[in-house]
Amino acid sequence: GEDVEQSLFLSVREGDSSVINCTYTDSSSTYLYWYKQEPGAGLQLLTYIFSNMDMKQDQRLTVLLNKKDKHLSLRIADTQTGDSAIYFCAETPASGAGSYQLTFGKGTKLSVIP
Amino acid sequence: GAVVSQHPSRVICKSGTSVKIECRSLDFQATTMFWYRQFPKQSLMLMATSNEGSKATYEQGVEKDKFLINHASLTLSTLTVTSAHPEDSSFYICSARLATDTQYFGPGTRLTVL
């Protein structure tokens, strides 16, 4: 079945850039997402990218997609302490292939050191 | 952006009782809603897919008689945990799907069964 892999932990200094990586196995993935989860809270959609795109930038967030290698990354510029959270990578197959179920990675815990 | 609410945010109940969790899409109509369960320090596990006006589709291993899902309108889905036991204690998160395939998540409900 589909699988999404992420490293579990990342620690960066405040002001530096953070890069969170994700690999996936489903070649039919059409939409790839990044969600943020703060302690005790639900998931917040940060950004998403269509599989026919290579890059998407939204303020401090940059998403890079290497479809050939099935690799997705999220770069957070000028990381702040408020960015400390767990970041989930998720993918969904092509429309019509199912009920749009998301497959999540286990999440990367980002710790920002002041 | 699209807003999804959940109620209650936290509930503590005695073993053997039933608990109902509501999920509402506040500013859009959602034909499909999803219910997830998250164990501590783990990723989300999809429990069921709920389509308005029809029976929910449960994932393998999820007891449909224990986790009753009702999707009576385009803005409301409910999850009832029947005869709850301590092992049902978890963080339950719902999401609602927009026509663009993007899922927006509720803030989650923390269930503790004593």
Separation CA B99–CA B81 (nearest Å): 29
* pLDDT (0 to 100) of residue A98: 46
The model's pLDDT over A17-43, given as tens digits with 9 standing for 90+, comes to 999 999 998 777 778 899 998 887 788
To the nearest whole number, what is the mean pLDDT of chain B? 89
* pLDDT (0 to 100) of residue A42: 80
B-chain CB neighbours of A49 within 8 Å are none
Average pLDDT score over residue span B91-105 = 83
Separation CA A76–CA A58 (nearest Å): 10
Give yes or no for residue A1 having a pLDDT over 60. Answer: no
Say whether B57 and A99 touch across the interface (CB within 8 A): yes
Give yes or no for residue B27 having a pLDDT over 90. Answer: no
Q: Cβ of B66 under 8 Å from any chain A Cβ? A: no
Phi-psi region of B42 (alpha: psi -120 to 50; beta: other; left: phi over 0): beta
B-chain CB neighbours of A44 within 8 Å are 105
Average pLDDT score over residue span B58-73 = 91
Average pLDDT score over residue span B12-21 = 96
Interface A-B, measured as beta-carbon pairs within 8 A, has a size of: 53
Q: How far is B84 from chain A (nearest CA, A)?
A: 21
Residue of chain A nearest B92, judged by CA positions? A42
Residue of chain B nearest A9, judged by CA positions? B41
The model's pLDDT over A65-87, given as tens digits with 9 standing for 90+, comes to 999 999 999 999 999 999 999 99
Average pLDDT score over residue span B67-92 = 93
* pLDDT (0 to 100) of residue A96: 46
A-chain CB neighbours of B32 within 8 Å are 99-100
Q: Cβ of A99 under 8 Å from any chain B Cβ? A: yes
* pLDDT (0 to 100) of residue B39: 78
* Residue B51 buriedness (CB in 10 A; 0-12 / 13-18 / 19+): middle
* pLDDT (0 to 100) of residue A94: 58
* pLDDT (0 to 100) of residue A39: 81
Q: Cβ of A59 under 8 Å from any chain B Cβ? A: no
